[in-house]
Amino acid sequence: MTLQPIGHFYELTPEQQRLEIAKLRGGLVASTKEKVLGYLRSGVEAGIVMMIEYDHSSSSEACLGTVSLLSDGKSIWPSSLAYYVETYDVGLPKEFMTDMAKNEWLVPPGTEVPFQMPEGHVAM
């Protein structure tokens, strides 16, 4: 099964990131914000990205630090996605929102993440 990528803003150029954040900004319903943040932060660690991420939408281009990849066994997102939800109320895909609600806003205990080699990477 292929994991569905969600919110991988670090893969975009600074200009593309600014445009994407602007497009998604304010798309999250306030009543679900804390639940979404809890879900995103409860993800199972699925890997790391060997880079430092910056928020190019902030006036100071805030440094977010290193990026961990988190998952619920179906979707995969960077640890920084919680920052974008908290800071900009970015909207998330409808299917992902539905899955979070079905899981009662918490990644199910015992979730296993299938190993998937990212395109362009090599196993060591």
Output the DSSP codes for 44-69.
EEEEEEEEEEE-TTSTT--EEEEEEE
- Between β-strands 4-5 and 75-78, what pairing exists: parallel, antiparallel or unpaired? parallel
Helix (H) or strand (E) holding 107: none
Regarding pTM above 0.75, the answer is: yes
pLDDT higher at 1 or 36: 36
pLDDT at 88: 96
Structure tokens at 87: 């800071």
pLDDT tens, 23-58? 999 999 999 999 999 999 999 998 888 889 999 998
Q: 3-state class of 93 per DSSP?
A: coil
pLDDT at 83: 96
Q: Would you kindly state where each structural domain of the chain is located, as residue ranges?
A: 4-102
